[in-house]
Amino acid sequence: MRPEGSPERDPAGRTAPSWLLPLQRAAETVQADELSRFVPPADGSGRHSAVLILFALSESSGADGPDNADVLLIQRSDGLRRHAGQVAFPGGATEPQDVSATATALREAAEEVGLRPETVDVLTELPALWLPPSGFVVTPVVGYWRSPHPVGVVDAGEVAGVQRVAVRELVRPDNRFTVRHPSGFTGPGFAVDGLFVWGFTAGLLDRLLRLAGWEQPWDRTRSRPLPA
């Protein structure tokens, strides 16, 4: 019998711990419109990019499971032209040498935070989504950080901070609310570890927590404006 929490090999040969398998299986069949209201233009326009949604077990705990898991987030530099200061997943635009969205996500994470790609098991690529403010077509790549190592800001011009945020804090109802944007947009938000997470990143986190079965009931009538 396989020990509880130990890695399991899926038919495609990728390794996932048992606590991540529900998310992996759901992610492999989910449709773009189940993840976001914004899907890529039918005419194929938009610049391609990818982000890495990287889950790991906390280094301070010997227990397996989502209660002891975290996800890697960055705070973008205030000097960037697009999405300045926002909390995001590591990632960026596809370059000519990138053979896949996975290659883009891993390369960008290495350039932004010093992630070593060989420490990551990529579990799946989610359907591409549309980021209207910047015109990017974004493919989210879900990974398991098999061998976590220290990471940090590599290029301060792009990244202001790097944090591993606990899943148990993300699902706490007190840390959840909806966000009101001056444009009229409303969407999920999180306040955790000093971070205000909203927009594309919060929307993806909201849906992935639900797909994984980790979401706890929270008050969707609680609303906060964007910080100044």
Q: What share of the chain has pLDDT > 70, as a percent? A: 88
Q: Are 80 and 130 in contact (CB under 8 A)?
A: no
Strand 87-88 and strand 120-125: the pairing is: unpaired
The SS3 of residue 57 is: strand
**Structural domains for the chain:** 7-167 (3.90.79.10)
pLDDT at 78: 64
Model pLDDT for residues 8-26, shown as the tens digit of each residue: 444 344 568 999 999 999 9
pLDDT at 1: 32
Q: What is the rounded CA–CA span in Å between residue 144 and residue 226?
A: 31
Q: What is the rounded CA–CA span in Å between residue 51 and residue 109?
A: 8
Count of alpha carbons within 13 Å of 204, Cβ hemisphere only?
A: 25
By the 10 Å C-beta count (0-12 exposed, 13-18 middle, 19+ buried), 132 is classed as exposed
Q: Is the pLDDT of residue 79 over 80?
A: no
Model pLDDT for residues 136-179, shown as the tens digit of each residue: 999 999 999 999 999 999 988 889 999 999 999 999 999 999 99
Averaged pLDDT score across all residues of the chain: 88
Contacts of 186 (CB under 8 A, 6+ apart): 178, 179, 180, 223
Q: What is the rounded CA–CA span in Å between residue 111 and residue 152?
A: 10
Model pLDDT for residues 29-75, shown as the tens digit of each residue: 999 999 998 899 999 889 999 999 999 998 765 678 899 999 999 99
Q: Is the pLDDT of residue 210 over 70?
A: yes
